[in-house]
Amino acid sequence: MTTGQPVLKLRHISKRFGSLLANDDISLTLGAGEVLALLGENGAGKSTLMSILFGHYVADAGDIEVFGRPLPSGNPRVALDAGIGMVHQHFTLADNLSVLDNIMLGSERWWQPFTRRRDARQRLLGVAERFGLPVDPDARVGTLSVGERQRVEILKALYRGARILILDEPTAVLTPQESESLFATLAQMVEQGLSIIFISHKLGEVLRVSNRVAVLRAGKLVAEAATADVTQSQLAQWMVGHGVEAATRRPATARGAVVCALERVSTPRRGREYLHEVSLALHAGEIVAIAGVSGNGQAALANLLCGTIEAETGNIVLNGEALPARPEQLVRLGVARVPEDRHAVGVVGDLPVWENALSERLSSPAFSRGGWIRGAHAREHASTIVSRFDVRGAGLNAAARSLSGGNMQKLILGRALTPPAGAAPARLIVAHQPTWGLDIGAVAFVQDQLIAARDAGAAVLLISDDLDEVMALGDRIAVMHAGELTDARAADDWTRESIGLAMAGAKHAA
């Protein structure tokens, strides 16, 4: 049951891609002034369903009704005109343009002889005031914080007359304070009659902001319920089909020697991604978690420790010797990486799973000799990774791009944590956003593997935007803002509020 007069009805939607039935006879209703949370594992069919609603895909069967009228399929412009707006997880803004320019883009007819900037400005300010979203129309988007950019994305949808708003992982890159501000905005929008579809993997947020939940699994709608009647554990079980235990902080039993140390390290400035006099010591048998809003230097730190960029000043020591800026040599020295972008950096999508499973160790004598790959040994190693890390959905010869996000991440993690026969396990693991965008089952698996690696004696550097993950896994926590890193302090010395303040640039927040 909806909580208001229905504004959106999806009836018996089905969509097939080859042998994959992505949506299987799904029917959903959204009420006026209602927040409906849409949940599901990676590959459950959420994105396909929203793409059909927004006109990017055409359903094989079923129909959609918006505000009592049928919605023609396969036309995003028709969806926008019908009052459907979407705020994507990855912002679609031009950094070099002003807020007003970004919001006006695509809102005027191409044959219009002149732009109506004055009218657009007044309309924008009116929408911003109505929904409590203050904005400077003349500010350049590149100078805005992540939270302010998200505000612009929401305003862009509202400016175009959206009455149904789809929010895809809206808090993924926000500080706790920015998330609180977003929740207040959503409450105000609902009060004014907007209806919202809220997609998130953060079950605590789902319970807080939604009126109803709908859960997809393997393309089917498996559960619908009023939010007040469910718990996080019940939602998790519906999503994955069995109980899932969330990671809780299990402190390291003993901290070992320093594996890697940075002393006042700076890197060249590349936009917002740089380091300024960063000092940090990483010990064996310990997880150091780095929190921060994405784009404040975390990528520079990860790339530095993986050898893809060099320090401009300062010293870096690995196992008592200067860190070489050569990725292949670092792999041989026991540095393993889980890169931030699994699609663009983590795998080569067109290569088969087995090649990706050992792509960073192809020169190892275990897998090649005289320039020739030892196929049997390579496939045996890849099969071990696939089995141990439960990589599902494709055989060893299938292209890596055919894997779901969660299974692709398991493959990358297995590659990092499984040395060739006779080789020592990784001594330093650089895990950058290792659970980003994964469902609750895959998140629990990846986190358990990182804890197991720590307990086996590895030094783990965890870089994450997810505060729950940072606080659950970090033995010590540091916060990065504008290229600078706070001291790494014991996890018990921090609160969510103090981490959030440090993420926003407040000094001495712990």
Q: Between the ranges 42-51, 146-155, 281-290, 343-352, where is the mean pLDDT highest?
A: 281-290
Average pLDDT over residues 99-105: 91
318 CA to centre of own chain: 30
Question: Of 479, 483, 504, which is closest to residue 494 (Cα–Cα)?
Answer: 479
| Structure tokens, 82 | 């019908």
**pLDDT on residue 245:** 64
What band does 249 get if pLDDT is binned at 50, 70 and 90? low
- Strands (DSSP E) along 125-252, which ranges? 164-168, 195-199, 212-217, 220-226
pLDDT digits over 438-466, tens only? 778 888 888 999 999 999 999 999 999 88
Q: Which amino acid is at 324?
A: P
pLDDT digits over 28-56, tens only? 999 999 999 999 887 788 989 999 998 88
**pLDDT on residue 212:** 97
Give yes or no for a contact between 200 and 37, defined as CB atoms under 8 angstroms apart: yes
pLDDT digits over 74-96, tens only? 898 899 999 999 887 667 888 88
Average pLDDT over residues 416-439: 86
Domains and CATH numbers, the chain: 6-240 (3.40.50.300), 246-334+424-510 (3.40.50.300), 343-423 (no CATH)
**pLDDT on residue 424:** 84
Average pLDDT over residues 296-317: 92
Residue 417 has pLDDT above 80, yes or no: yes
**Largest separation between any pair of C-alpha atoms in the chain:** 71
**pLDDT on residue 114:** 60
pLDDT digits over 353-392, tens only? 988 988 888 777 777 777 777 778 888 989 999 998 888 7
pLDDT digits over 11-27, tens only? 999 999 888 899 999 99
Q: Is 158 helix (H, G, I), strand (E, B) or coil?
A: helix
What band does 431 get if pLDDT is binned at 50, 70 and 90? very high
**pLDDT on residue 370:** 72
Its pTM stands at 0.72
Query: First CA to last CA across the chain, in angstroms?
Result: 45
**pLDDT on residue 8:** 96
What band does 113 get if pLDDT is binned at 50, 70 and 90? low
Q: What is the mean pLDDT of the chain?
A: 87
**pLDDT on residue 373:** 77
Sheet containing strand 35-40, strands side by side: 84-87, 164-168, 195-199, 35-40, 212-217, 220-226
pLDDT digits over 223-248, tens only? 999 999 999 989 989 988 776 665 55
Residue 492 has pLDDT above 80, yes or no: yes
Burial readout 158-179 (b: 16 or more C-beta within 10 A, e: otherwise): bbbebbbbbbbbbbbbbbbebb
Give yes or no for a contact between 220 and 12, defined as CB atoms under 8 angstroms apart: no
Average pLDDT over residues 147-162: 87
pLDDT digits over 120-130, tens only? 999 999 998 88
The rounded distance, in Å, linking the Cα atoms of 149 and 87 is 11
Residue 29 vs residues 26, 64, 87: alpha-carbon distances, Å: 10, 10, 20
Give yes or no for a contact between 335 and 306, defined as CB atoms under 8 angstroms apart: yes
